[in-house]
Copies of this chain bind each other. A is one copy, B any other.
Amino acid sequence: MNNIITILPVSSFDTSKTRLSPFLSNDEREKLLKSMLRDIVSNIKNDVFKIIVVSNDESVLKFARDILKIDTLKENEHENNYLNNAIIDAVDYIKKFNEEYDILVLPSDIPLIKKENIKYLADCDEDLVISPSKGGGTNLLCFKHTFEFEPLFGDFSFFKHLNEAEEKNMSINIYDSFYLSIDINTPQDLGEFLLHGKKTETFSYLSSLNISVTSIHGQERLNVERKNE
């Protein structure tokens, strides 16, 4: 077993995935998030030392404990930068273990992550391993040999993280993966995921909603719509 501790920050079920509204209802967006969390956890659980869900939402923490059977941490009250501060809370918590761990931060919406990705990370020795998401974001962030890396999730975070690592003279491995870049924020993302995500819980759930995906040649690539039931 490697010594990777995975931090999974989750905002709250109520406010999750708002860019998918009105395509999906509140209740559907909550179920989608739960499906994605199930996929991530079942895909990597046996290959990391520990997974910690960090959240301010009691129902998220309860779901993580009771259903996903993983560790949880209640984040502190923060005035802003919830996501980054939640990660900092989790890193502070891990520091107290007084052991050297590799820290892996994953967003809650990349159900295509696979055990092979974890194996790759375990074999890396760079100070930072990072994967881009669409639109300049970061979908995987793994820092080793140090706890002193400040998460800068938000607009164009991929480049901010690279800059920070360079300023700190950290060695960098850009982990180039299409599947890790597929996060789920918009209806287009649902379409992309439905093409590539068969055999996941998230796929089963979305399939139950009668979402159809066809190819178009306009400004978008995919037409993603819900069939009349």
A9, CB-defined interface residue at 8 Å: no
> How many of chain A's residues touch chain B, expressed as a range?
20 to 34
Taking the closest CB of chain B, its distance from the CB of A183, in whole angstroms, is 10
Beyond A135-B221, A135-B222, list 9 extra A-B contacts (CB 8 Å).
A19-B219, A137-B221, A156-B195, A156-B215, A176-B177, A176-B178, A185-B221, A186-B220, A187-B219
Question: Which of B136, B192, B217 contacts A195, CB < 8 Å?
Answer: B136
> Do B176 and A215 have beta carbons less than 8 Å apart?
no
> Are B192 and A155 in contact, with the CB atoms below 8 A?
no
Q: What's the nearest-Cβ distance from chain B to residue A80, in Å?
A: 16
Select which of B180, B186, B195 is within 8 A of A219 by beta carbon. B186
**Cα of A132 to Cα of B177 in the assembled complex, Å:** 11
Once the chains are docked, how many angstroms separate the CA of A159 from the CA of B194? 12
